[in-house]
Amino acid sequence: MQLLVFSMLPVFFLTSQLIKNIAKLFSLPACKIFTIDLCGVRILLLLILVISSCNREANKAEKKTVSDVKSEPIDSALAVIRQVQKVYTGDFDMMKKHRIIRVLVPYSRTLFFNDKGQESGITADNFRQFEQFINRKYRKQGDDVPFTVVFYPTPRDQLIEHLVQGLGDIAAGNLTATENRLLQVDFMAPKEQGSVTEIVLTRKQDKPLMTVEQLSGMTIYVRKSSSYYESLQLLNKTFRLKGKAPVVLKLVSEDLEDEDLMEMLDAGIIPAIVVDDWMAEMWVQVLPNIRLNKHAAVRTNAYIGCAYRKNSPLLTAELKDFYYNFERRMGNMPYRLKKYYSKVKHLQDPTNSGNTKRYSEIMTLFEKYGKQYEFDPLMLAAIGFQESALDQSERSPAGAVGVMQLMPATGASMKVGSIYITEHNIHAATKYMNILMTKYFKDARFDEVNRSLFAFASYNAGPYRIADLRKIAIERGLNPNVWLNNVEIIASEKIGLETTTYVRNVLKYYCSYKLMQARREEVHEQKKELVEGVK
């Protein structure tokens, strides 16, 4: 028997479907598949056991199928890797050449996430079906070389930019075909699937909004890259022309998805947001404190879909074929939504009166030990709220104690005093997280925020595990020093959603405390101005 290295292909997500497609690509009767790391790229090796008795005609046929990927030295195979990895633009003919369709997606519990290796979400489901549709179509035409859809998690504010640059072929993730976006890219957003309306969401305890005019002077939280921001900007122009107060726009992190903001609204952390009606109707079923103000719409008759580069008639035809001859006929989209309701873990409001009182009483401790161990005090407060709602009397079934939910053995090993006392509890937990950072992440170059996020992830899942995830992130071409949309992706794949949800919840509480701090500073400045005015 002869052992031949046939091909090497760089991948970001080694799914079973991807492996099957690659095996089929080479018409393999038997193969062993494993990975190696080379130059920071994960390489998938197909080691083919070729029976020496195989006839020459079979070998010729096989070479014809993969004429540019023969049994050659590794140096030659690396040239193939560089070809597939490089930035490139072009129409569907380029995708046919590479047999890879790169889909840029935001990381979202509704649209795309990876739970222990299983890619899930509405966008993931949709494009896996697109992959199957394309492969069936070309197989019928005698083309047996399969296509593979590869998802590239991408921050929302970079989706269009990366698409235009050639870092992906399609951008998907509940994108609205706005005028500004249509200047840069084309959209597959068929009107037959129905329009969406961007509506204002408030808390149920607030008065309902019956007209869009009532938004004048309101404060609304929004991502700058979103279509909602464009809509609110246009509304503010109208208000100014009418002599009315504009909507006060508070920008939030691009890492927060619509469902994250809805959770924060439901918990009372923020007062109002704008969301597509279909998304709001989906999540309101598990977020009962939200009011959908359908009469206060900032954009109507909008269409959502996927974006792709201009001058791509071949890809346009493929996407239309998929929608009109499969997706629309099968009616899949309405039935996908219920699948993802269970992904919410309810937040509490850290800024209500009782929680604020506890926060004020122990904030000096977070400031003291945050400064000593180089952690943002508000980040420490956020993890304390996530663990116990800042309640020192809290005890877990497993025996964890106090504000920071430390196990007694861990607390004792820190040698700072009894963790049954609030100050020692916070001191021990902060010291412990600092030890995790200095011992297990010596090579890391974290900024202040990421140092905290990695500490919290290690606090939740264990430092060995998180350190290993950073190594895998390097192999995948991700940034090992950034948690969100980078190491977080590997964590969701290898550990599951527990740790990623934990860290994101802490981040939301951190945002809440930052907002509360900003409001206090605003009030302080207003009082200062009043005093100076009296003088």
181-235 confidence digits (pLDDT tens) = 999 999 999 888 889 999 999 999 999 999 999 999 999 999 999 999 999 999 9
Q: Domain span at residue 298?
A: 198-302
Look over the chain and give the mean of its residue pLDDT values, rounded to a whole number. 80
231 inside domain: yes
Note whether residue 529 is domain-resident. no
Question: What's residue 268's pLDDT?
Answer: 86
Residue 385 lies inside a defined structural domain of this protein: yes
Strands (E), 83-189: 100-105, 113-115, 118-120, 148-153, 170-176, 185-188
Is the same domain home to 317 and 387?
no
Residue 17 lies in a domain: yes
395 and 454 co-located in one domain: yes
Same domain, 112 and 212: no
pLDDT of the residue at 529: 64
Q: What is the CATH number of the domain that holds 321?
A: 3.40.190.10
The answer as to whether 374 is a domain residue is: yes
395-427 tens-digit pLDDT: 999 999 999 999 999 999 999 999 999 999 999
pLDDT tens, position by position, 297-349: 999 999 999 999 999 999 999 999 999 888 766 555 555 655 655 555 555 55
Read off the tokens for 53: 């008795």
Q: Are 402 and 419 in contact (CB under 8 A)?
A: yes
Do 100 and 27 reside in the same domain of the chain?
Answer: no
Instruction: Copy the structure tokens of residue 172.
Output: 């998907």
> Do 127 and 273 sit in the same domain of this protein?
no
Assess if residue 533 is contained within a domain. Answer: no
Which residue out of 387, 423, 475, 488 is catalytically annotated?
387
Q: What is the pLDDT of residue 463?
A: 95
**Cα dist from 335 to 209, 277, 338, 340, 402, whole Å:** 30, 16, 7, 11, 44
Q: Can you tell me the distance from the alpha carbon of 494 to that of 41, in angstroms, rounded to the nearest whole number? A: 18
Single residue among 238, 273, 302 that ends a domain in this structure: 302
pLDDT of residue 69: 32
- The domain boundary residue, chosen from 283, 317, 345: 345
Model pLDDT, residue 22: 44
**82 part of a folded domain:** no
- What does the pLDDT read at residue 516? 73
Which pLDDT does position 511 carry in this prediction? 82
Please indicate, yes or no, whether residues 396 and 461 belong to a single structural domain of this protein: yes
Could you say which DSSP state residue 308 is in? E
Residue where one domain finishes, among candidates 39, 72, 105 = 72
How many structural domains is the chain composed of?
4
387 catalytic? Reply is yes
* Stretches in the chain below the pLDDT threshold 70: 1-86, 328-357, 519-520, 522-524, 526-535
pLDDT recorded at residue 528: 64
